[in-house]
C-alpha cells in the first residue's frame, strides 16, 4: 500500500526551500493548531512555540519545547499516508510529575519516558488504520514506534530505533 520501503531515505528529505506544515488536535484540551512550522530552510520560532503550547501536559499545564525532529517525523508520516486529516494527539509533552503518576498506575508507561524530553508523541490519524500508521513510522526508521490497539494510538519518538506492541 505504501511504497516507502522502496525509496532511499535521502530521497524523501524535504527540499531546502518550501514549507513543512502540521495540523494537530489535542484531544484533552480541544485545542487545535494548523500551521507552517518550517519555511525556506528554517524552523519558525513562533510556530514551534504554538505547537509546544498545544502539546503541553494537559494535567499540569506545563509546557516544554518539542523537538523539531519529532515534528519532521510527523510531517513525513503525514505525507506518506497521503492524508489531509489532522493528527489527533493523545499525549505530547509529559511533566515528570505526570509521568511518575502514570507510571505508578500502568506498567505501559516508561519511568523515563521520552515524552518528558519533548521527543515523543502518541497520535492517531482519522481515516487511516493504526497498523498502517505504525508501518509508515517503522519504515522511516527515525525512532521508536509503539502500537497500542486497545488504547487506539501509535506512539512515535525520535529516540533510538525500536518497536513494541502495547495495549
pTM exceeding 0.95 = no
- Cα-Cα-Cα-Cα dihedral of 8, 132, 111, 91, to 10°? 110
- The residue segments making up the domain with residue 37 are 18-165
Mean pLDDT of the chain: 91
Residue at 12 is within a domain:
no
CATH code for the domain of 80? 3.30.1380.10
Contact 140, 120 (CB under 8 A): no
Residue 125 falls inside a structural domain: yes
| Domain contains 142 | yes
CB contact at 8 A, 4 and 136 = yes
Structural domain count of the chain: 1
State pLDDT tens for residues 104-131: 998 788 889 999 999 999 999 999 999 9
Amino acid at each position: 500500500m505504501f511504497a516507502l520501503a522502496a525509496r532511499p531515505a535521502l530521497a524523501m528529505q524535504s527540499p531546502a526551500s518550501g514549507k513543512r506544515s502540521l495540523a494537530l488536535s489535542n484531544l484533552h484540551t480541544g485545542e487545535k493548531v494548523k500551521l507552517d512550522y518550517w519555511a525556506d530552510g528554517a524552523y519558525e520560532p513562533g510556530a514551534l512555540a504554538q505547537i509546544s503550547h498545544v502539546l503541553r501536559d494537559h494535567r499540569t499545564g506545563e509546557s516544554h519545547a518539542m523537538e523539531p525532529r519529532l515534528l519532521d517525523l510527523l510531517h513525513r508520516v503525514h505525507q506518506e499516508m497521503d492524508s489531509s486529516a489532522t493528527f489527533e494527539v493523545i499525549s505530547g509533552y509529559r511533566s515528570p510529575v505526570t509521568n511518575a503518576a502514570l507510571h505508578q498506575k500502568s506498567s505501559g508507561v516508561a519511568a523515563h519516558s521520552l515524552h518528558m524530553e519533548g521527543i515523543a508523541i502518541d497520535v492517531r490519524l482519522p481515516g487511516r488504520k493504526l497498523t498502517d500508521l505504525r508501518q509508515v513510522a517503522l519504515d522511516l526508521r527515525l525512532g521508536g514506534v509503539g502500537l497500542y490497539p486497545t488504547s487506539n494510538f501509535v506512539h512515535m519518538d525520535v529516540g533510538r530505533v525500536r518497536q513494541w506492541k502495547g495495549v
